[in-house]
Amino acid sequence: MASKGEMFAGLTVAMVTPFKGGTLDEAGLRNLVDWHVEQGTDVICPVGTTGESPTLSHDEHHRVIDVVCEQARGRIKVVAGTGSNSTAEAIELTVAAKKSGANGALVVGPYYNKPTMEGFYQHFKAITEACDLPIILYNIPGRTAKNIEPETIARIGELSSVVAVKESTGSMDQASQILALSNLTLLSGDDSLTLPLLALGGRGVVSVVGNIVPKDVKAMLAAWDKGDIATAQTWHRKLFPLCRDMLGLSTNPIPLKAAMQLLGRDTGEVRLPLTPLDAKQQESLIGTLKKYGLL
């Protein structure tokens, strides 16, 4: 039986939000959408963690989703980041994303206020009652301060419009339990764990390195789908040092934006409280990109 959110299987790229002189770089954003269409990326996800959503104003958040949906013009699927630790705000953002033409919403577990398991369930239930846009639940306790337990994820997964889970706990046990308890489509939320999660029954990845090497990530996924495990492992071994050495330099998306700047694809600008790489980290990043064959 196909998993519930099979329409979001494959490569989803968690897009950066380009800035120029502190403001939203709309032309840069449109170029990124076109580039992903050319590269064959399956789905793009604006205004997630990688898109620096915490520092965008509400107007900017809506605008980014509008621009991405407008530029996509049905050529590529769009899953918009619409999560919040306020249920009313998450509803408002999800409703607006549907109006903009998004194909789905990536909704992070409420952060900072640490709800109970019942609270998590009621949060997602309220969103699904207000809007029927397909939802990918995003569980990342390292950023939200509380894990959504597998039993609760399975319960939330019974809500008709919750179709997938972006699994960012780093726990294979948690992923296995979710797959055993539900029919949700499991997507890796961590580039270096994509292949092991595929082995458990995962169906794709919401990727950060896909911002620079989408074709390589797609090649790994395609090899796995064909049952060519050796080729999938070869791609994993190539991608892994890039994931580890680039993303290990600093908090995402600081090193990613620096890499995109070096590759001529972004200004590299991040918003406070995020700060750019220092000279030593920059040097290390250049070495990593050279080793991969990107520079």
- pLDDT tens, position by position, 232-260: 999 999 999 999 999 999 999 999 999 99
DSSP strand pairing (23-24 vs 43-45): unpaired
pLDDT of residue 1: 82
Q: Using an 8 Å Cβ cutoff, are 135 and 166 in contact?
A: no
Q: Select from 41, 33, 31, 78 the least CA-distant residue to 215.
A: 41
Mean pLDDT confidence for 61-81: 98
Q: Tally the domains of the chain.
A: 1
Does 65 fall in a domain?
A: yes
Does 243 fall in a domain?
A: no
Does 265 fall in a domain?
A: no
- pLDDT tens, position by position, 185-213: 999 999 999 999 999 999 999 999 999 99
Whole-structure pTM value: 0.97
Residues forming the active site = 138, 166
Structural domain containing residue 159: 9-228
Does 91 fall in a domain?
A: yes
- Mapping DSSP to helix (H, G, I), strand (E, B) and coil, where does residue 115 land? coil
- Mapping DSSP to helix (H, G, I), strand (E, B) and coil, where does residue 25 land? coil
Does the pLDDT at position 264 exceed 90?
Answer: yes
Does the pLDDT at position 283 exceed 90?
Answer: yes
- The domain that holds 81 is classified in CATH as 3.20.20.70
- pLDDT tens, position by position, 6-26: 999 999 999 999 999 999 999
Does 109 fall in a domain?
A: yes
Distances (CA, A) of 266 to 17, 18, 20, 148, 253: 9, 6, 9, 34, 12
Q: Can you say whether the dihedral through the CA atoms of 56, 57, 62, 68 is positive or negative?
A: negative
How many CB atoms are closer than 10 A to CB 102?
26
